[in-house]
Amino acid sequence: MTDYSGLIADADRTVSGALGSAPTDVDVPLVLRDSETLAGRIDHTLLKADATATAIAALCDEAHEYRFASVCVNTRWVPMAAARLAHSDVIVCTVVGFPLGAMTRRAKAEEARITVSEGAGEVDMVIDIGGLLSGDLVGVYEDMRAVVDAVGPVPVKVILETCLLDEEQKAIACLIALRTGAAYVKTSTGFGGGGATAADIALMRTIVGDRLGVKASGGIRTRRDAQAMLAAGADRLGASASVAIVSGADAGEGDY
């Protein structure tokens, strides 16, 4: 098992230097963290730009049939998905600031607020990646917190885009998320050039412990992929190949 203690200590000093001592009273919304079935751990996802109403309808119907945890769709499709799944236990999850995370925090927060008013039950937000890479940790915190405050008590998953970060930056992002009231940290958008890895999931789980959920997304196409992520510490999985994963069939190329 990898020893992350030195890395985490260094990251914690960096975050505390920028934001002060970590608060001890952060409220985190209750959120689905486990299930008796593999399907119940999967966010059935379709985020491609060319997704059509017909494809979104099929996504919702598959989610209902296979009892996935959620459908994850762009904000454009939230009202339709919410209506189609109104009599289902499937959550409507959406993404904001997607896929770049580079818009103003006011715009990101307002997008989140609107989409919750239209039926989203979970919000996956892309962090201010450029701010993190620039060392603006206050800005990164305020960006996350703006979305959390805009939708509370709806759970927020914070997308790190791990393929663009080194290990210390991943640790810093997780430590900031712990201060905000976010419910999850999540690896990837699926559009950043890389997806989830077991090593990243293990690191994220070590940092957040049991306080937050961990979601693996990007490049999960087979049951073996899914099981590897769960074994590494993921609570939830984001995948477009969800039906193939739960049926044990090999999925084709492409993601989301």
Dihedral through CA 201, CA 203, CA 207, CA 211, nearest 10? 20
Tokens linked to 172: 């810093």
Note whether 143 and 111 are within 8 A (CB): no
DSSP state of 135: T
Max Cα-Cα span within the chain: 50
Task: Look at the alpha carbons of 5, 9, 15, 20 in this order and tell me if their dihedral is positive or negative.
Answer: positive
Alpha-helical runs (H) found in the chain: 5-19, 53-66, 78-84, 105-117, 129-134, 137-151, 167-177, 198-208, 223-232, 242-247
Spatial CA neighbour of 120 closest among 151, 149, 89: 151
Catalytic positions are 124, 186, 215
Tokens of 150: 């805009």
- What is the DSSP secondary structure assignment for residue 234, as one 8-state letter? -
**Peptide bond connecting 153 to the previous residue in cis, omega within 30 degrees of 0:** yes
Which residues share a beta bridge with 93?
Answer: 72, 122
Cis peptide before 23 (omega within 30 of 0): no
Q: Give the chain's length.
A: 256
